[in-house]
Amino acid sequence: MGLSDPFVAASVQMDIHIGQIAANVQRAVALLHTAADQGARLIVFPECTTSGYCFDSLDDALPLAIPRDDPALHPFVSACRERAVVGILGFLERSTDGGVYNSALVVSGTEEMEHLYRKTHLPVLGVDRFVSRGDDLPVFHASGLNLGALICYDVRFPEAARVLALRHADVIALPTNWPEGAESAPAYMLRARARENGCYIVAANRVGFENGRRFIGQSQIVAPSGEVLAQAGTDEETIFAEISAHKARRKRIVIEPGCWEQDTVGDRRPELYGELTA
């Protein structure tokens, strides 16, 4: 069973308590049920929802890094399956080889499948100073939706979103932790990424304070046109917007047939862009 088209997406903007995995997951599950009650079928949560983000060392973060199949994540997976939703949850991952990653768990509740994305671009900030980089930009096929994921700083690299678009992503889920100083992302960056790639972006930031940093909220759901369909303030926990995968798959924009048409994916000139991969 897949998602109907169009369907409702939700971005959950929650306060996260550093070091309190069980409490954070419990709150995420409660908010997932609330969003599902209001019709949401794709629900995105912030970066590092389970653990918090502002760690001062790898030793501080390690006790909060868990495997992708850890029992602590089971309530979230079970809730996605119970409500037949696609849920994306940021967590600090301990891999089987002992590596630590800033990751997102993608749960396709209708198909009882889970996928994993590991943050590929790491700033000098918080726990990202101590974790390893992911090395892939996958697009997941979840409930009939082509779903890409980026995490926070990743969206500042236009190449990353472009790769997801070229791999036919309808929606880019963006778990994020925007602190004060990152206002450019919701102000204009997400709109540009959505418009240039013709796909939706569902960005879930957090709120609250953590180890001296304040997080700005301003979560967004952005249409392929670049229009902001929904934006949270600093107090709202969940925002909603209707999404159509069919619209995201129509890359060519016809304003005046034969006189004014554009396709920022199909009209590319890859032979001119060699420096991008140098």
Q: What is the pLDDT of residues 54-65, one digit of tens each?
A: 999 999 999 999
Residue with tokens 């418009």: 195
Quote the number of domains for the chain: 1
Residue 258 within any structural domain of the chain: no
Helix (H, G, I), strand (E, B) or coil at 126: helix
Look at the pTM and tell me if it is higher than 0.85: yes
pLDDT at 233 over 90: no
Structural domain includes residue 265? no
Asked about 259 being catalytic, the answer comes back as no
Please check the confidence at residue 6 and state whether its pLDDT lies above 90: yes
Residues 6+ apart with CB under 8 A from 196: 158, 161, 162, 264
Model confidence at 1: pLDDT above 60: no
Question: Which of 47, 93, 114, 237 is flagged as catalytic?
Answer: 47
Segment 84-103 mean pLDDT = 96
Does the annotation mark 47 as catalytic?
A: yes
CA distance 210 to 15: 10
Q: Is position 46 within any domain?
A: yes
Q: Identify the domain containing residue 221 by its residue range.
A: 7-251
Backbone CA torsion sign across 92, 189, 200, 197: negative
Look over the chain and give the mean of its residue pLDDT values, rounded to a whole number. 95
CATH at residue 242: 3.60.110.10
Options 48, 54, 152, 199, the catalytic residue: 152
Answer yes or no: is 256 within a domain: no
In a domain, 268, yes or no: no
273 within domain boundaries: no
Respond yes or no: is residue 159 known to be catalytic: no
Q: Using 50, 70 and 90 to split pLDDT, how confident is the model at 230?
A: very high
Catalytic residue among 54, 80, 114, 119: 119
Q: Tens of pLDDT along 26-75? A: 999 999 999 999 999 999 999 999 999 999 999 999 999 999 999 999 99
**Does 121 score more than 60 pLDDT?**
yes
Model confidence at 109, pLDDT cuts 50, 70, 90, reads confident
Q: Which helix (H) or strand (E) holds 78?
A: helix 74-83
Q: What gap in Å lies between CA 13 and CA 176, rounded to an integer?
A: 10
